[in-house]
């Protein structure tokens, strides 16, 4: 079946201080959900922006450097695995988005959020379905969030080898599930996600040592 292309997005806001927001990491079993907010500079555009998932890792890294160099403002937000467990993944994503926008050095006049709903916040905003394909600022945010979280998975892979985190980035692939059942959960695994909970119950370990808090400060 041929997919009908989405129409161009027409934003009701026409000013310069438009922030795009996107998230990465709702589906994985481990690590933070990472969000980004980006205000692009209309006078210094970044070419080739699109959904981060449609770009190669090398191209994402190149665009990451260009976005962070050219944007009027950008910021990352996050909720750690423990917060995901406490809040649930949806609420944690909303909190992480709010943190990303709140940390911008330039206050946005309008915010576009990838998806079908926005957090409850004080900025004028609207959601954009498939926004990472239709809005340059959201595309830029998706790239920053994706590169950041992928780097964190590589770092986690060094700390806890054997799970294949650098390869599958924490998603519930067959080899990740097998390793989880064989090795147990790391402190960064999300206890509220069923495969992790089942692995912990099978191992009889429901109490874990504390989470590291500064593991990704240098990324």
pLDDT digits (tens, 9 = 90+) for 37-67: 999 999 999 999 999 999 999 999 999 999 9
Question: In which band, very low, low, confident or very high, does the pLDDT at 206 lie, cut at 50, 70 and 90?
Answer: low
The domain spans of the chain are 18-153, 156-202
> How high is the mean pLDDT of the chain?
92
Looking at the structure, give the CATH architecture of the domain made up of residues 18-153: 2-Layer Sandwich (3.30)
Cβ 136 vs Cβ 40: under 8 Å: yes
pLDDT digits (tens, 9 = 90+) for 153-168: 999 999 999 999 999 9
Give the SS3 label for residue 16.
coil
Burial readout 113-150 (b: 16 or more C-beta within 10 A, e: otherwise): bbbeebbeeebebeebeebbbbbbbbbbbbbbbbbbbb
Question: In which band, very low, low, confident or very high, does the pLDDT at 121 lie, cut at 50, 70 and 90?
Answer: very high
pLDDT digits (tens, 9 = 90+) for 175-196: 999 999 999 999 999 999 999 9
0.85 exceeded by the pTM? yes
**What is the spatial distance between Cα 155 and Cα 67, in angstroms, rounded to a whole number?**
23
Q: Whose CA is closest to 146, among 54, 212, 218, 19? A: 54
Give the SS3 label for residue 65.
helix
């Amino acid at each position: 079946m041929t997919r009908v292309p989405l129409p161009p997005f027409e934003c009701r806001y026409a000013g310069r201080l438009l922030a795009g927001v996107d998230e990465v990491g709702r589906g994985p079993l481990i690590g933070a959900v990472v969000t980004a907010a980006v205000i692009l500079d209309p006078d210094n555009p970044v070419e080739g922006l699109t959904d981060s998932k449609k770009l190669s890792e090398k191209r994402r890294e190149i665009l990451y450097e260009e976005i962070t160099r050219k944007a009027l403002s950008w910021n990352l937000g996050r909720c750690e695995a423990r917060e995901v467990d406490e809040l649930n993944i949806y609420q944690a994503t909303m909190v992480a988005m709010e943190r990303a926008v709140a940390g911008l050095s330039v206050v946005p006049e309008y915010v576009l959020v990838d998806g079908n709903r926005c957090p409850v916040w004080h900025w004028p905003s609207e959601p954009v379905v498939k926004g990472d394909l239709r809005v340059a600022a959201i595309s830029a945010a998706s790239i920053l969030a994706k590169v950041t979280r992928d780097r964190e998975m590589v770092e986690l892979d060094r700390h806890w080898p054997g799970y294949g985190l650098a390869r599958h980035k924490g998603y519930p692939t067959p080899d990740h599930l097998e390793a989880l059942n064989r090795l147990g959960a790391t402190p960064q695994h999300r206890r509220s996600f069923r495969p992790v909970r089942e692995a912990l119950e099978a191992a009889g370990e429901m109490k874990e040592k504390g989470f590291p808090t500064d593991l990704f400060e240098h990324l």
